[in-house]
């Protein structure tokens, strides 16, 4: 693990993270391991909100969802660190577990999105092991509602619960849900639901690789995303610069 803006990020690479999730899910240990695909938005939120940072640092894995996170991690010595992009984590785990006794529960999106994602899992990834669907309300859920959802998930015998609600809502949702279920993993994957169902256009790979996916998404959804990125991008650069400068000073003083 490597610390980026005070959050522990996974540094072993995308393939290793997929292998770890699939490998441990096969064991049916029901440890409710929390995994987040965490990008600049999540790290900036954690930097500004100590409670959210503490929640993230209790997760089993925080996967570096954006290239800027990877670049900072590599500067800090995590040479094997690669981007663990939420939509790719989702698709690769689905493909890797298609012929294994690992079942999945899809939680997120507007009404109908989870149903369409289930079809995509079958048609695009060859995975028929989707055992449950749920579209959360656009408000805070009560404990009673979480209990009912937990009972539904437990009855489905799901190994992995996938949550696509956006940061920080999905991480808070996952942590709360973990108190009501008995599964192997609860994984938050951001916009993966919308990307894989075709509701939102995904940035080309070369745009992702140069760390400009945020700009592509801003162009696609300016009204919804301009406020987020107008603060997240400069704050991530600012906080990261301070973090790296502080690290250099500490190394000089040792």
Tens of pLDDT, residue by residue over 196-249, are 887 777 777 777 777 787 777 777 778 777 777 778 888 888 888 988 887 776
Q: What is the pLDDT of residue 249?
A: 66
pLDDT (tens digit per residue) in 106-131 = 998 888 888 999 999 999 999 999 99
pTM summary value: 0.89
178 closest CA partner among 68, 36, 16: 36
Task: Please provide the size of the chain in residues.
Answer: 254
Give the rounded percent of residues in the chain with a pLDDT score beyond 90.
Answer: 61
Model pLDDT, residue 200: 72
Question: pLDDT class for 147, splitting at 50, 70, 90?
Answer: very high
How much is the pLDDT for 111?
84
- What is the pLDDT, as a whole number, of residue 143? 95
Which of residues 210 and 83 earns the better pLDDT score? 83
């Amino acid at each position: 693990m490597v610390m980026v803006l005070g959050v522990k990020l996974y540094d072993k690479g995308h393939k290793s993270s997929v292998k770890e999730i699939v490998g441990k899910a096969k064991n049916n240990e029901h440890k409710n391991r929390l995994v987040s695909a965490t990008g600049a938005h999540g790290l900036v939120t954690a930097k500004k909100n100590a409670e959210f940072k503490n929640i993230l640092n209790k997760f089993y894995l925080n996967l570096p969802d954006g290239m800027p996170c990877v670049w900072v991690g590599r500067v800090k010595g995590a040479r094997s660190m690669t981007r663990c992009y939420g939509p790719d984590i989702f698709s690769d785990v689905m493909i890797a577990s298609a012929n294994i006794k690992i079942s999945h529960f899809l939680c997120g999106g507007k009404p109908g999105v989870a149903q369409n994602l289930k079809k995509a899992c079958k048609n695009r990834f060859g995975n028929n092991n989707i055992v449950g669907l749920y579209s959360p309300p656009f408000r805070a859920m009560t404990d009673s509602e979480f209990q009912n959802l937990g009972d539904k998930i437990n009855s489905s015998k799901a190994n992995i619960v996938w949550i696509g609600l956006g940061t920080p809502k999905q991480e808070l949702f996952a942590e709360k849900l973990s108190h009501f279920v008995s599964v192997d993993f609860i994984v938050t994957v951001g916009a993966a639901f919308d990307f894989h169902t075709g509701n939102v256009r995904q940035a080309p790979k070369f745009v992702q690789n140069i760390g400009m996916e945020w700009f592509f998404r801003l162009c696609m959804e300016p009204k919804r995303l301009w406020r987020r990125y107008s603060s997240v991008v400069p704050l991530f650069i600012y906080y990261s610069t301070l973090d790296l400068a502080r690290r250099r000073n500490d190394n000089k003083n040792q």
